[in-house]
Structure formats: C-alpha cells, structure tokens
Amino acid sequence: MSDRPSDTPRFPGSPPTPRTAYLTLGGADWLASASPHPRSVHALWAACPFAPSVLPCGTVFDVISAPAEFGHRVVERLWADGPGSGPVAVHRKRLLVFTAPGVAQRLPALLRWEEWRAQVPPLLCHGLGDTVTVPPFCSRPGTAERPAPTRWLSAPSDRDPWLPGPDVLLWACIRAARTRPR
C-alpha cells in the first residue's frame, strides 16, 4: 500500500507526503524484513499485536534517538524546510527517527565538524549490531495526560519507505539547534 495517491508518481528516493500514525501491512513487511526471521516477527505481531517489538538495526534501517523536545524540532525542520522524514516513533520520552543504513556511523562524525554541535543534545545512534524497540503493530490509544509510551508519529506505510541520509539529518539537526524552543 502506497502512502501517495495513485495518480501521484513516486520516484525512487522521494519522501512520502502524508504521514500516518498507524502501521500498514506494507510497513509491517518492511519492518519485519529487518529481522533474520521475518515470519517469526509477523507471528509475534499476530499473537501480541499490542506489544512493542525489538528489531535489529543496520541492514534495513538505522535509528537516531533524540530527546523528545529536540527530536520534535528536527522532525519539524525535516517537514517544514526539507524533504520530509521517514518513519518516526516515540519511545520513553525519546524520538526515534528511522534513517538509511549507515547514518548511525556517519552522523556523529559530521556533527563534530559543525560549529553548532554544542547546541545539539547527545544523540543515540543505533546501527549495525544494535537493536531498537519499535511500537506495537496495533496501538492502544493513550490520553492527553498519559500518552502511550511507545507509539508511531509517522509509521512506515509501504514496503520501501523513504529514509533520510546523513546529510539530510545533519542539516535538520543544525537547523533544529538554531531554533529556540517555544
């Protein structure tokens, strides 16, 4: 299932336009493909659709984990000024930005070269050999006072989601660092 209307062409490398907070079957296939045993992941989701899962990083995606406030500013920059973002989740007051494989290794080195690096809070970069907790296949709605601790802000909606590379994430981090919190 595509995240674009059928009359809009989707070019390789182009970002999605609409964002959805619900995981689609195509998005679930993409996430499960990160596991060496995707059928087992699908079986787990069928048996426990409301439980978060742990998936390996580094082959299908990397994940950059940022403190929630800064992470929201990064995602705002990606959508307001840039190409958009790939999947984004919340897990325990941190934003998880799903990126192209290799970003976790490259981004810290790029940030060290920037004059704004002191304004960027420490980012946790999960790449090859790491695992991350992903939101459940089916989300239970939270409330304004108690949102679900692990949920999608922008769920993967197809089997080939656009994922930002290190240059796009560097650009968004620097612009977010320059933006004062409201």
How remote is the C-alpha of 32 from its chain's centroid?
15
Place of tokens 């976790």: 104
CA distance linking residue 129 with residue 116, whole number of Å: 29
Q: Point out which residues pair with 131 in neighbouring strands.
A: 56
CA distances from 158 to 23, 80, 86, 129 (A): 9, 22, 11, 25
pLDDT at 144: 63
Res 121 pLDDT > 80: yes
CA distances from 130 to 77, 124, 136 (A): 27, 11, 19
pLDDT at 8: 32
76-94 tens-digit pLDDT: 999 988 788 889 999 989 9
Share above pLDDT 90 across residues of the chain, in percent, rounded to a whole number: 59
Res 39 pLDDT > 70: yes
pLDDT at 16: 44
Residue 11: pLDDT band (50, 70, 90) is very low
CA distances from 122 to 35, 68, 77, 179 (A): 27, 12, 18, 17
Res 149 pLDDT > 90: no
CA distance linking residue 26 with residue 165, whole number of Å: 22
CA distance linking residue 6 with residue 66, whole number of Å: 34
Residue 74: pLDDT band (50, 70, 90) is very high
Res 170 pLDDT > 90: yes
Rama region for 35: left / alpha / beta (φ>0; ψ in -120 to 50; rest): beta
Query: Are 106 and 119 contacting, i.e. CB atoms less than 8 angstroms apart?
Result: no
CA distance linking residue 54 with residue 132, whole number of Å: 5
pLDDT at 82: 77
Pick from 106, 121, 118, 119: which is nearest to 170 by CA? 106
Average pLDDT over residues 147-176: 90
Res 69 pLDDT > 90: yes
pLDDT at 10: 34
pLDDT at 143: 62
**Mean pLDDT of the residues in the chain:** 85
| Model pTM score | 0.84
pLDDT at 41: 94
